[in-house]
Structure 1
């Protein structure tokens, strides 16, 4: 089996600015007392899912993108929330990437939108997809590896 280089999934960037003091402080707070990468990932996932408002659901501005801006303004669309989750996890040494899914806005075909979520590398199971978009009526995302429960899928797989 080919080994994967996880270093690329730990890097900071202009958007995933995990070296920002606010992100580092929150990452440390969320990881406190956690005993495994899975436990850290769950704590960070649930915090972003529950504490950062989905901009569309709450009709909030500004439109954020950079992880530190999402944290500062406490709002973001799905992709922005995935940037903050990646920053928190990477700050804690948990490799994290990005996944995108094309969705129909009305489940009838065009028009379409792009939905962003995360792939998190958990040593005990490998890559695990999580969607921190935020729960609301008809949307229920949970962190229950190795099963997935996505906001845009009502079934557990």
Structure 2
């Protein structure tokens, strides 16, 4: 599936400010089951220095520096992305599906960091450990069965809701509140997977639903590393594996490193800023027709 995505963000300050360093995760992933055909980034005011960096996850990020003062900062990222379905998971394994826990010495060293502090003696939030243990019951230590049951339990015990402000909650808080946004559910799944030795990381991007919702928002899900299959996406908010209607912007062991825009500013005491944003997505049908979908929506992170 080929999609043109236009992501705009504008920050307005009520007094002239000096902009500090900014970090952008607005360039979609260009590898694996996702091909980046074109990407254009417009920034106003123009930065004095702009660098592209390759993150540990393999995603490209931009780092910006500015000179002078301004009362407005805007970004427009135009990306043409082609996605394709991943192979069926069971077809990736030469024998039976992987069993849990994976032996740490058998893991690729590149994915060790995605265990995020997992320790054999189980130093985790007790409620998260309990949820992971419940998901293990009846799955015979099989990884795919565990993931399926874990998603079912998360959906049963935590009510999905939109939460537009603030970082992802710690997994223990999400379980206590019994409610959470897509980023909260994703971090809960990450924590549970790490409890049983499954490398897991947080993903931010776009979910191009069919049919399209009234309002699109940034979405979050989880990627799990499975031997012989590699990194594969699972969405605890939607209840299953991701498909070719998901577009990855960035992934990381910690969600704050996937923010679309992060940075600082300095100005007169009490200076406030206001952010507005929109996403447009034009999806090309596999059979060309006049019915390409053009969606313009206010963007809020779920």
Fold conserved between structures, TM > 0.5: yes
Tell me the SS of whatever aligns to 1:120: strand
Corresponding position: 1:142 with 2:240: yes
After superposition, the Cα gap between the structure-2 partners of 1:151 and 1:51, relative to the gap in structure 1 and judged at 3 Å, is: farther
CA distance in 1 between counterparts of 2:244 and 2:184 reads 17
Q: Which has the higher strand share?
A: 2
Show the counterpart of 1:8.
113
CA distance in 1: counterparts of 2:224 and 2:168, whole angstroms: 22
Higher-Rg member (1/2)? 2
> In the aligned structure 2, how far is the partner of 1:74 from the partner of 1:151?
28
C-alpha contact 2:157 2:175 (8 A) present in aligned 1:
no
Are 1:99 and 2:203 matched, yes or no? yes
- Measured after TM superposition, the shift of residue 21 of structure 1 is 1.0
TM superposition shift of 1:114: 2.0
TM-score (norm 2): 0.37
Q: How does 1:125-140 map to 2 (within 5 A)?
A: 125-134=229-238
- For structure 2, the residue ranges without an aligned partner over 5 or more in a row are 1-107, 248-302
SS at match of 1:30: helix
Number of aligned residue pairs: 131
Shift of 1:43: 1.5
Contact 1:99 1:118 (8 Å CA) reproduced: yes
Q: Would you say the 8 A contact 1:54–1:75 is kept in 2?
A: yes
Task: Return the alpha-carbon distance in structure 2 between the equivalents of residues 151 and 20 of structure 1.
Answer: 33
Describe the superposition over 1:40-84 as per-residue Cα deviations: whole angstroms up to 9, x where unpaired: 22221222134311123xx9xxx9711100011111100000010
Counterpart Cα distance in 1 of 2:194 and 2:127: 14
Matches within 5 A, 1:7-156: 7-12=112-117, 19-34=124-139, 35-56=141-162, 65-102=169-206, 113-134=217-238, 141-143=239-241, 148-149=242-243
RMSD after superposition: 3.5
Structure 1: segments with no counterpart, 5+ residues: 135-140
- Give the structure, 1 or 2, with the largest relative contact order (CA under 8 Å, sep 6 or more): 2
- Please give the secondary structure, in 2, of the residue aligned with 1:65: coil
